[in-house]
Structure 1
Amino acid sequence: MDKPPIHPYIPIFIGVISVSLSAIFVKLANAESGVIAFYRMLFSVLIMMPWFLMYYRHELKELSKRDWLFSSIAGIFLAFHFILWFESLNYTSVASSTVLVTMQPLFAFIGTYLFFKEKITLKTVVAGIIAVLGSVLISWGDFQVSGSALYGDILALIACALVTGYLLFGQDVRQRLSLVTYTIVVYCISTITLFFYIIVREQSFGPYPAIEWFWFILLAIIPNLLGHNLFNWSLKWVSTNVISIAILFEPVGAAILAIFIFQEYLTGTQIIGGLIVIAGIMLFVVDIKKFFLKKA
């Protein structure tokens, strides 16, 4: 294996900061949740499209009817994931929302167990119980603060389930397509879904102040394109376990940024519950024996 030009942990660290900024940018924007999601996806598609047309458009011929169906379902799920997650940030804190959305690996296990009959292990059960206890603690603490915060937590959990559906329907298609082609197809479908959502809800496509367009574009460039692409680049040299753990630090980074930007100080239940959730997810995704750089 080629020697990386820089240590892989450096782009991974930058990737964590990049995805941590997603909730911050959403919170700074004043548009409706569906509008923010629409422009995030639209600008992502527009930025990726030239690269796709030059090098990958031939792969569209390889998509079967089943591939288009699954990609369409994945795109719709992704659209509503963003709508509900962004909406949750209007009710609950950045810390609570991002921690609960981070429970995606456990939702994924439930899906693979129900649809693909994957086996249940004691480690999975213990990890699930730990993460659920942490989420209950967060929600209980938020309910003590206000009922609207609990509502935001529920929206975040539904958003987590939706992004799991997006991943489950997409995993079969992804095996036969490059990352660029799969991403552009799903993002296009997601953008179209959000377009019609805005029309049905009679929300406005604009005009918006320049600062709003700034947040929309940053959402497309930094969390979507920079953050996730840095993770994908690093996979050539590090174990997937490293990436799995790195992603778990998104709520940590988002919570720290929220303290400085929004003065959203954490409560005791948020801190304890968040740490419990992260510990449970870490137990689920990590194989300690493989937690090293890949050997050449």
Structure 2
Amino acid sequence: MGSSAGGTNGTGDTEGGQDVRGRHVTGSLAHRVPDLGALQLLLAVARLGSLGGAARELGITQPAASSRVRSMERQLGVALVDRSPRGSRLTDAGALVTDWARRIVEAAEAFDAGAQALRDRRDSRLRVAASMTIAEYLLPGWLVALRSQLPDTAVSLLAGNSTAVAERLLAGEADLGFVEGVSVPTGLDSAVIAHDRLIVVAAPGHPWTRRRRPIEAAELAATPLILREKGSGTRQVLDAALGGLARPLIELSSTTAVKAAAVSGAGPSVLSELAVGEELSTRRLVSVPVADVALARDLRAVWPTGHRPTGPARRLLSLTRA
């Protein structure tokens, strides 16, 4: 099949020809209709009867206003303003275009008000989902800083393991998440916001605390430990670093509970360095060196793929990097 002169642009219009109803058109609607700034200028000229006055009201120079009017006249193909030493007067065509412009500007103002209402509703709340270590030891400081910047934003925090955080985000139940696992969960984008290190700890008196040499990775892997539940970032990192773990001595759902069990002398554990600073300084727990294994990990902010955080979520993300 041959192509028509000018060709179609995929919308039923032709470029430099006629549309399917025989109307002459040139380019897209955006090229044929003046922008809002030009329409606002025309309305100001109609109201004030002066191009100079309209320019001052809109905060532009008179030459810039004249240039914009001429550009609008070329775009529409009609004269809009008669200029004289006594002022500026709309032509008959200019008066008609001004009536249309007023409706367009009013519609744009309604659009802007609606968009602002959507932003206000978005900014009125922030739902955060975070893995336990981040929720307990890092987020409180970030949220205090956020409140000083956005005092009217209500923040809710959902704490759980890294798997649960991903599920919350993908279900639309959280605006921003924080995880500490080995990799980024499927369906999420991420940014590294901090680094952490896991350490082996035990109560004073445990045989490991009296050893002169570090324990071997294989021994650690074979020893029943007090551990977080499956799905936690801490357990994922430890399992990946050791290539597998023995059956847990005790399995608990929070870092605080794991610490309490370790302090009681129930057995050794592996916890974030962030979580045990006080216990180490007061000697309620002792750090146990481990040979030939790296237990460092990245802490990440996460959000659904392709949906970069906006509003309060974006502000919180920036605070994590401050």
TM value normalised by structure 2: 0.18
More strand by share: 2
TM value normalised by structure 1: 0.19
Q: Which has the higher contact order (CA 8 A, sep 6+)?
A: 1
More helix by share: 1
